[in-house]
Structure 1
Amino acid sequence: MELFDRLERQELERAVLVHVDFHNESDREELDEFYELVDSAGAQICELLTTKRQKADPKYFIGKGKAEEVQLAVEMHEANVVIVNHALSPAQERNLSELLDCQVLDRVGLILDIFAQRARSHEGKLQVELAQLKRMSTRLVKGWSHLDRQGGIGARGPGETQLETDRRLVQGRIKQLETKIEKVRKQRDLGRRSRKRSELPTITIVGYTNAGKSTLFNTMTSAGVYAEDRLFATLDSTLRRVHLPGAGPVIFADTVGFIRHIPHDLVTAFRSTLEETSEASLLIHLVDASDALREEKIQDVLDVISEVGADEVPQLLVMNKIDAIQPAGDKKIEPKIDLNEEGVPERVWISAKKNLGIDLLMDAVGSFFKGQYYKVQLTLHVSAGKKRAQLYQLGTILEEGFDEQGNSLFTMLLTEQEWQHIEQWSELLSKTVIEGK
């Protein structure tokens, strides 16, 4: 454990930020998002330095002159970390760290740092640690560079020996984590197969980080999932069973937020979590409608959805935060459903925080699953109190009442498995299928 004590994440305190405006659009990162990431990590921003470049400098990424300017800023503010809003190679990170004489963190490391702070479940912590160690394994050499600099015959051995020891420890821990995560993945597979056997559709909420997924999830399911107006406020997927009016019982799943240029190791590490997306019956693609860059972020999410193999899953685009949109004139954006040419909902406008349009969203989601259930009329004997209670735990009760003898009358929506479960009850005095699947 000594190695991992030495390599623990340092607390981010006084930070100098570095942002590069590249000529190529695909290489650019958003400055506002950078500020949000740093804020989510808990750093105190001392100064922001920006520069324009055609392409990255091979040695220092930002060029020697700009690196020296950053060095002056670090000394002036007594900063203990420099955060770069781009991915650095191990060599670039090492060269900058040696020149600036302080910790250097790139965009990938920053996101990993946030993930390490926010992971709550056992699986989430395993996945984050795995991603961190895989990244660390390419950067271990800088931890022992002071030994390498001694030079001379006989002086290089201790450093190399320690470095190899560290690498073996890291690789060993990586194998342990991969084994544990594989066990968790198998457990998730069992859970998914169980849900498939029960024929309950799964509706997974996806979207760019901070689009309001957890707030919507709480509003639709009353799950009490932690939600905050910060990037990556929640990482761990949560499942809740909900009865949709006119459709029946379904499973709602909340997932980790996506982000532009999401680190590949994170996609790999969280694959077991993201598999909930590829196995879903419907994706609710949640978008911050008030974001000026919403179209670009929609495409970023679609890219990740494609990467995890979920691009064939039906999607419902949900435009959230309509209360934050600045309308033209005095006309406010009202909750509504946009239909495609076939009359199928393709876009819903809501505000999860203000609870606006949630009923429209539930109706839109329910419309995807109508016709997949049995609509039945049941008469349950007056003495069957326990069976009556069980009905409330099964399907969606559309109507209920009593006949003259006090027997219970129900009109319900049931899955095939639920229908097969109850149609043999001796307490059922009558049973009629009104509509089949």
Structure 2
Amino acid sequence: MTEFTYLNPADEPSTGELELEDRASLRRVAGLSTELADITEVEYRQLRLERVVLAGVWTEGTAAQSEASLAELARLAETAGSQVLEGVVQRRSKPDPATYIGSGKVRELSDVVVASGADTVICDGELSPGQLRQLEARLKVKVIDRTALILDIFAQHARSKEGKAQVELAQLQYLIPRLRGWGESLSRQAGGRAGGANGGVGLRGPGETKLETDRRRINKRVAKLRREIAGMDAIRTTKRSRRVANEVPSVAIVGYTNAGKSSLLNAITGAGVLVENALFATLDPTTRRSTTPDGRTYTLTDTVGFVRHLPHQLVDAFRSTLDEAADADLLLHVVDGADSAPEEQVAAVREVLADISRHRKGPLPPELIVINKADAADELSLVRLRHLLPDAVVVSARTGEGIGALAEAVADGLPRPEVTIEAVVPYTRGELVARVHSEGEVLAEEHLPEGTRLCARVRPDLASSLEAYTTTSLPV
């Protein structure tokens, strides 16, 4: 592997750039060969490429909303490495219980699959095990649903040990009710009296033991993953409790997938995390330290993005990660200002947040709406969004527009220290002055012959350390 030396530190790639390069790099695949030549390297995404046809059922809302949902499914499929050929939508009051789409539409879909040469059909909804079997039997190609597609994207993008464990747990929870016995290839138990119509002695099989064994192994693996995630959650809770003990305010960035949350984190903190124009590019939360314009320190955490109809298995598996948002002092709810239906994105995110709130049985932190991608949105859409979300801050993480106003809004939204003090600190206790600057909010400062005179808002523990030099101490 070639090593590069960067003469200028500014030219050195960021962590996010290296991760993006790794995703797009060639992967060696062993054991592949043809009659003509050995295949030594293939591009990973090209290897995964599948030709897919999309199928949706329009049960409510407008035709535009139905088409937008199918368009989002197409983006999900492309993110997973598939090539979308066609899409069909059927208007029904509710999905067909047997085949998701009606029998006539199944025949039409089969003709589309044959004509296009597709090898996979992706349905815009969660299919029951029965619907999955019926569609595969009639279409003669692989059929997956929206949930399986999102789980596949998460499996591709997970990097940390915790992220991989959470995705595997969600996949196994999805798989358990969809395990299938493969008919005559498994021994079925033949009951009845010996010599009866069922064959009797010698022809009684042990039953579908393979299916039962698979289910038992999966349940054991699920239990192990839950224990591992609980252990990782304990570590996360310890880190969070340290921040709480130090009373460092925290801000969590939430929002729809691909709304620009990681770009916003980079714009505010210069974190250099992965930024990619793809759905669910970020799965592992990233926490960075930042400072408000008035000098207060706080932490900023980038969380996993949400999507319409986010699989409940993922919400359950990523519970510990999502709790990071629920424990914050302020939520930065990022909205894609260039999206065709940003209001639906806001509703989808708030639905998941409400689910987290019900699970925790406690209120959510205050919310600050941030309309991102102002440089890509048209002026009419921005005017409409400002009317719908009057308290929102409009920014562009790419150009830096509005980041200063956002920093002021974050400072206003964070909890302020509880005690106002006025003290004259001797010059020999400079560490106390430094703590007031880093942990509190300095209202006035003056250098006197006997020491530094401070008027500031501080936490109770710091106020007690300054008690010997305090002339005034009042609750805010």
Q: Please give the range of the TM-score, normalised by the shorter of the 2 chains.
A: 0.7 to 0.9
Q: 2:82 aligns with which of 35, 43, 59?
A: 43
Contact 1:219 1:352 in 2 (8 A): yes
The alignment partner of 1:48 has SS state of strand
2:11 matched residue in structure 1: none
Cα distance change, pair 383–87 in 1 and its aligned pair in 2 (3 A): closer
Contact 2:57 2:92 in 1 (8 A): yes
- 1:141 matched to 2:180? The reply is yes
1:197 matched residue in structure 2: 245
Aligned runs of 1:389-404 on 2, under 5 Å?
none
Q: 2:226 aligns with which of 171, 178, 182?
A: 178
Aligned runs of 1:33-112 on 2, under 5 Å?
33-112=72-151
Contact 1:286 1:318 in 2 (8 A): yes
Mapped partners of 2:60, 2:170: distance in 1: 30
- 1:317 matched to 2:369? The reply is yes
Cα deviation, 1:143-179, whole Å, max 9, x if unaligned, reads x245269998688947711111111111110010011
- 1:361 matched to 2:398? The reply is no
Q: CA deviation at 1:319?
A: 1.4
2:54 matched residue in structure 1: 17
Cα distance change, pair 155–102 in 1 and its aligned pair in 2 (3 A): farther
Cα deviation, 1:232-286, whole Å, max 9, x if unaligned, reads 1101112122121226111211111111111111111111111112211111111
1:3 matched residue in structure 2: none
Q: CA deviation at 1:98?
A: 2.4
Aligned runs of 1:367-406 on 2, under 5 Å?
367-369=412-414, 371-372=416-417, 381=427
2:37 matched residue in structure 1: none
Q: CA deviation at 1:414?
A: 5.0
Q: Give the aligned residue type for 2:342.
A: R
Contact 2:421 2:457 in 1 (8 A): yes
Contact 2:53 2:120 in 1 (8 A): yes
- 1:187 matched to 2:235? The reply is yes
Cα distance change, pair 19–338 in 1 and its aligned pair in 2 (3 A): closer
Q: Give the aligned residue type for 2:53.
A: V
Q: 1:248 aligns with which of 292, 296, 300?
A: 296
Mapped partners of 2:49, 2:472: distance in 1: 63
2:7 matched residue in structure 1: none
Mapped partners of 1:110, 1:17: distance in 2: 12
Cα distance change, pair 410–62 in 1 and its aligned pair in 2 (3 A): same
2:396 matched residue in structure 1: 351
Mapped partners of 1:332, 1:325: distance in 2: 7
Mapped partners of 2:179, 2:162: distance in 1: 25
Query: How much identity, in percent, do the aligned residues show?
Result: 38
1:7 matched residue in structure 2: none
Q: 2:319 aligns with which of 271, 287, 299?
A: 271
Aligned runs of 1:104-183 on 2, under 5 Å?
104-141=143-180, 144-145=182-183, 147=185, 157=205, 160-183=208-231
2:30 matched residue in structure 1: none
Cα deviation, 1:71-97, whole Å, max 9, x if unaligned, reads 333334443321111111111112212
Mapped partners of 2:97, 2:318: distance in 1: 31
Q: Give the aligned residue type for 1:15.
A: V
1:225 matched residue in structure 2: 273
Contact 2:75 2:279 in 1 (8 A): yes
Q: Give the aligned residue type for 1:316.
A: L
Q: Which moved more, 1:169-178 or 1:29-38?
A: 29-38
Aligned runs of 1:286-301 on 2, under 5 Å?
286-301=334-349
Cα distance change, pair 378–264 in 1 and its aligned pair in 2 (3 A): farther
Mapped partners of 1:325, 1:68: distance in 2: 41
In structure 1, the gaps of 5 or more residues are 1-9, 341-345
Q: CA deviation at 1:221?
A: 1.6
Cα deviation, 1:302-334, whole Å, max 9, x if unaligned, reads 111111016542111111122222125xx997x
The structure number with the bigger radius of gyration is 2
Mapped partners of 1:151, 1:116: distance in 2: 37
In structure 2, the gaps of 5 or more residues are 1-46, 191-197
Q: Give the aligned residue type for 1:197.
A: A
The alignment partner of 2:148 has SS state of helix
Q: Give the aligned residue type for 2:141.
A: C
Contact 1:123 1:181 in 2 (8 A): yes
Q: Which moved more, 1:230-239 or 1:17-26?
A: 17-26
2:13 matched residue in structure 1: none
Q: Which moved more, 1:299-308 or 1:367-376?
A: 367-376
TM-score, length basis structure 1 = 0.81
2:15 matched residue in structure 1: none
Cα distance change, pair 380–102 in 1 and its aligned pair in 2 (3 A): farther
The alignment partner of 1:15 has SS state of strand
Mapped partners of 1:123, 1:25: distance in 2: 39
Q: Which moved more, 1:24-33 or 1:260-269?
A: 24-33
Across the two proteins, how many residue pairs are aligned to each other?
412
TM-score, length basis structure 2 = 0.75
Mapped partners of 1:242, 1:155: distance in 2: 72
Q: Give the aligned residue type for 1:70.
A: L
2:32 matched residue in structure 1: none
Q: Which moved more, 1:153-162 or 1:318-327?
A: 153-162
- 1:207 matched to 2:258? The reply is no
Mapped partners of 1:292, 1:387: distance in 2: 52
Aligned runs of 1:322-341 on 2, under 5 Å?
322-328=374-380
Cα deviation, 1:363-421, whole Å, max 9, x if unaligned, reads 0110123642667777674897x99988887667889998899x999887754445656
